[in-house]
Amino acid sequence: MKTIINPPYSDWEKYAKRPAFPAEDLEEKVASVLEKVRLEGDSALKNFTLAFDKVNVENIKVSSSEIEIACAEVSTELKDAIAIAVNNIKVFHESQQINEAIVETISGVECWRKSVAIEKVGLYIPGGSAPLFSTILMLGIPAKIAGCKKIILCTPPDENGKINPAILFTATFLGIEEIYKVGGAQAIGAMAFGTETVPKVDKIFGPGNQYVTKAKELVQKTGIAIDLPAGPSEVLVIADSSADADFVAADLLSQTEHGADSQVVLLSNSAELMEEVKVSLNNQLQLLPRASVAEKALENSFFVLLNTINECVDFSNLYAPEHLILAIDNAELFAGKIKNAGSVFLGNYSCESAGDYASGTNHTLPTNGYAKSYSGVSLDSFVKKITFQKITKKGIQNIGKTIEIMAEAEQLLAHKNAVSIRLKKLQDEK
Ligand SMILES: NC(=O)c1ccc[n+]([C@@H]2O[C@H](COP(=O)([O-])OP(=O)(O)OC[C@H]3O[C@@H](n4cnc5c(N)ncnc54)[C@H](O)[C@@H]3O)[C@@H](O)[C@H]2O)c1
Ligand SMILES: N[C@H](CO)Cc1c[nH]c[nH+]1
Ligand SMILES: [Zn+2]
Q: Annotated catalytic, 322?
A: yes
Assess whether the region 231-363 and the region 392-429 belong to the same CATH fold: no
Cβ neighbours of residue 330 under 8 Å, at least 6 residues apart?
A: none
CA 47 to chain CA centroid, nearest Å: 29
Residue 130 confidence (pLDDT): 92
What is the C-alpha to C-alpha distance for residues 215 and 186, in angstroms, rounded to an integer?
8
For a ligand 1 pocket test, name from 155, 210, 211 the mutation site with the most ligand atoms within 8 angstroms of its C-beta.
211
The pTM for the full model equals 0.96
The CB-based long-range contact list for 160-165 (8 Å cut-off, 24+ gap) reads: 160/55, 161/55, 161/56, 161/57, 161/58, 162/66, 163/62, 163/66, 163/70, 163/127, 163/131, 164/70, 164/127, 164/131, 164/133, 165/69, 165/70, 165/71, 165/73, 165/74
Question: Cβ contacts of residue 46 below 8 Å, gap of 6+?
Answer: 56, 57, 60
Extents of the domains making up the chain: 26-227+380-384, 231-363, 392-429
Active site (annotated) includes residue 363: no
**Numbered residues of the known binding site:** 124, 186, 209, 233, 255, 258, 323, 356, 410, 415
Asked if the model's pLDDT at residue 288 lies above 90, the reply is: yes
Mean pLDDT in residue range 24-49: 97
**CB 339: neighbour CB atoms within 10 A?**
12
pLDDT in tens, 229-261: 999 999 999 999 999 999 999 999 999 999 999
Q: Which residues line ligand 1 (CB under 6 A)?
A: 52-53, 126-129, 132, 135, 156, 183-185, 207-209, 211-212, 230, 232-233, 258-259, 262, 322, 363-365, 367
**Which residues partner with 195 through β-bridges?**
none
Which phi and psi (to 5°) does residue 302 adopt?
Answer: -155, 155
What architecture (CATH level 2) is domain 231-363? 3-Layer(aba) Sandwich (3.40)
368: left (phi over 0), alpha (psi -120 to 50) or beta: left
| Catalytic position from the list 311, 322, 352, 404 | 322
Q: Whose CA is nearest to atom 6 of ligand 2?
A: 356
| Cα–Cα distance, 249 to 283 (Å, whole number) | 9
Cβ 348 under 6 angstroms from ligand 2: no
- Of 242, 261, 201, give the one whose Cα is nearest residue 21: 261
What number of CA atoms fall less than 13 Å from residue 242's CA on the CB side? 12
- Decide if pLDDT at 359 tops 90: yes
Average pLDDT score over the chain: 97
Please tell me if the CB atom of residue 344 comes closer than 6 angstroms to any atom of ligand 2: no
State the first-to-last Cα distance of the chain, in angstroms, to the nearest integer: 81
CATH of domain 392-429: 1.20.5.1300
CATH topology of domain 26-227+380-384: Rossmann fold (3.40.50)
Pocket perturbation via mutation, ligand 2, pick of 136, 227, 233, 237 by most ligand atoms within 8 A of CB:
233
What count of residues does the chain have? 430
Ligand 2 site-directed mutation target among 138, 324, 363, most atoms within 8 Å of CB: 363
Grade residue 22 by pLDDT with cuts at 50, 70 and 90. Answer: confident
Q: Which atom of ligand 2 is nearest to the CA of 255?
A: 1
Is residue 21 very low, low, confident or very high in pLDDT (cuts 50, 70, 90)? confident
Express each pLDDT in 155-195 by its tens digit: 999 999 999 999 999 999 999 999 999 999 999 999 999 99
Helix locations, 95-242, DSSP H: 134-146, 165-174, 184-193, 210-220
Q: Are 142 and 378 in contact (CB under 8 A)?
A: yes
